[in-house]
Amino acid sequence: MSEKNIEKVDSEKSKELENDNDADGNSDSTAEAAATPAEEGPATFDKAIEGAGFGLFNLMLLIVSIPAQSAAIFESSSMSYILPVAECDLRLTLEDKGVLNAMAYAGMIFSAIAWGYLADTKGRKKILYWGYLLDAVCVFGSALSQNFIMLVIFKFLGGLVVNGPAAVLFTYLTEMHGPKHRSSVLMIVGMVTSTATVTLPLLAWGIFPRDWEFQIWGLVIHSWQIFLFVLGIPSLVSGLIFCGMPESPRFLMSQGRNEEALQAFRNMYHVNTRKSKDTYPVKALIQEAPDRKAERDEAIYTIEEKSGEDSTKRQSRTLAESLRSGLQQMKPLARKPLLGLALCCYVMQFGIFLGMNTIRLWLPQLFASMAEYEALHVEDGEAASMCTILEFSVNQTAKTALNYADACLVPKEISMDMYLNNIIVSATGFVGYFFAGGIIRTLGPKRMMTYGLFLSGTFGLILYFSVSSLMTLIVSATFLTITGIAVSSLLGAVVMLFPTQLRTVVVSIAMMCGRLGALSGNLLFPVFVQIGCLPPFIMVSSVLILSGILSIFLPNPAKASFS
């Protein structure tokens, strides 16, 4: 869509609201405007979504988001739990562990812009069901991996695939709710995220201690591979469920498909109120783009200038023409005022993900090392400070890699404390999100984000001064909870600050920058740890505080119009 078109949308809306007799008559839905009272006129998206009510349909959406968001979390976090268990099976070095933690993010980086473009042109629904189904295939492939290289390839492909539906899910849920509920919905998604992170250590606790090892089709299967197979089930379930979900009416309106959008609103209204679809109060929608009906064999559609040409006579375009049109649609992102705003969001997302995911993905390894260290020094009662644990973890991993036969002669037993500590950290995040909805209504989304980032940067540095396993547990749980809420606040701001036609592209690019941050952090962490104890914590703290400073310059999302 051209920049001129984007700037015209709001003016066209106001003109049509002032004089419904001048409404474009190409659409069946807008044609019904003549039958509505003159003072009502065609409805905006916000008016239409509010008219659909809030009820069972919205509850169904939130229930669907549970396996969907869990699938994304499982894809990006599963490696951190198998590292202590699969160390001998895969002969992992410290650098190998960093690569496995980072590989899913590498795949996400490569696919971000392509997924965003497809979601803004082909629709949200297709990306959701195809993305999750393909991710299930990749996760099941990783569960059958027999060596480090095979696992790396499947994790890369999994990240490549899951990035699309993971980013689109935020946009889809936001576009299915009115202004009153949007911030709360994002906080609920944050709670779902925390629930998924709690589920991971619970599943590990239930599966890893089992002495499961057998062969199938010549492949050796261990307990950590069964763990990965179980983690692929939410992706499969999500893909199947989204096949039956409706397309986002916000997307349909932005594409000029008002007839389909109005039908989607009527269905939502019927499910929420149990009343007949004919009693839905909105009879016409504002015409945001030239009317069109979806054509089965049509190439990717992007909004064009209005013309007198009948949409039914428009020729289907080639893929090259569609791509050129799509680049034209993204052109406003390279110009003021969106350029500066987008760059600010991208840098913030990079910093937040670098800080949060570096600590989050290495915590299971650190907790496992803590439990092992305390078991060895139980008699002398030596304190497990952060620096002591990092040094111990580096040395133990090096011993395993250099002397595999002796180090792996007896299967490693992971202490129960490792699972319990990770469960406590994840449960703390869930409780934090439970109260975040009320706090964000009091402080506002911008203050919540700014204060949260400065606090998380402070706690990131405090981790260096941890002198015991209990202190490490408390500080890391607080750090990850505050940082996770800040991520949800930033994504909510991105959704509200950018136009519909560019929203998913911006979210996808922001997520790509976040994945790049997570990739960088996980590759740099083992390097910095070998340099010294302090450098990795300075890295984490500084990027989060920088993100907090940048958040001061963002517009207030609460005052932005949802276009």
What's the Cα-to-Cα distance from 142 to each of 87, 146, 149, 166, rounded to whole Å?
A: 16, 9, 10, 19
Q: Look at residue 454 and tell me whether its pLDDT is greater than 90.
A: yes
Amino acid 156: pLDDT: 92
Q: Rounded distance, CA 218 to CA 347, Å?
A: 47
Q: At what angle do helices 94-122 and 338-376 cross, to 10 degrees?
A: 150
Q: For residue 527, give both structure tokens.
A: 């390097």
What H or E segment, with its residue span, contains residue 152?
helix 148-175
Domains present along the chain, CATH in parentheses: 56-246+336-559 (1.20.1250.20)
Q: Look at residue 21 and tell me whether its pLDDT is greater than 50.
A: no
Amino acid 134: pLDDT: 93
Q: What phi and psi, each to the nearest 5 degrees, are found at residue 192?
A: -65, -40
Q: What phi and psi, each to the nearest 5 degrees, are found at residue 220?
A: -85, 125
Work out the percent of the chain whose per-residue pLDDT is above 90: 13
**Comparing 72 with 25, which gets the higher pLDDT?**
72
**Comparing 308 with 162, which gets the higher pLDDT?**
162
Average pLDDT over residues 130-159: 91
List CB contacts of 53: < 8 A, sequence separation 6 or more. Answer: 268, 269, 272, 273
Amino acid 366: pLDDT: 84
Q: Look at residue 372 and tell me whether its pLDDT is greater than 50.
A: yes
Q: Look at residue 298 and tell me whether its pLDDT is greater than 60.
A: no
Q: Rounded distance, CA 81 to CA 365, Å?
A: 7
Residue 295's nearest CA partner among 316, 275, 276 is 316
pTM value is 0.67
Average pLDDT, whole number, for the chain? 77
pLDDT bucket at 205, cuts 50 / 70 / 90? confident
Across 193-207, 363-377, 454-468, 477-491, the highest mean pLDDT is recorded for: 454-468
Residue 147 gets which letter from DSSP?
Answer: S
Amino acid 334: pLDDT: 67
The 10s digit of each residue's pLDDT in 245-263 is 888 888 888 778 888 888 8
The 10s digit of each residue's pLDDT in 276-297 is 888 888 888 887 665 555 444 4
Work out the percent of the chain whose per-residue pLDDT is above 70: 77
Decide if 191 contacts 434 (C-beta within 8 A): yes
Amino acid 270: pLDDT: 87
**Comparing 109 with 411, which gets the higher pLDDT?**
109
Q: Look at residue 32 and tell me whether its pLDDT is greater than 50.
A: no
Amino acid 319: pLDDT: 52
**Comparing 210 with 271, which gets the higher pLDDT?**
271
Q: For residue 495, give both structure tokens.
A: 């959704």
How many residues in total does the chain contain?
563
Q: Look at residue 208 and tell me whether its pLDDT is greater than 70.
A: yes
Amino acid 262: pLDDT: 87
> Taking the alpha carbons of 372, 373, 378, 381 in that order, is the dihedral positive or negative?
negative
List CB contacts of 557: < 8 A, sequence separation 6 or more. Answer: 445, 446, 492, 493, 496, 497
Q: Which of 70-84, 87-101, 172-186, 289-303 has the lowest mean pLDDT?
A: 289-303
**Comparing 122 with 539, which gets the higher pLDDT?**
539
Q: For residue 334, give both structure tokens.
A: 């390279």
Decide if 139 contacts 228 (C-beta within 8 A): yes
Q: Rounded distance, CA 424 to CA 201, Å?
A: 10
> Taking the alpha carbons of 393, 399, 402, 406 in that order, is the dihedral positive or negative?
negative
Amino acid 30: pLDDT: 34
Q: Look at residue 207 and tell me whether its pLDDT is greater than 70.
A: yes
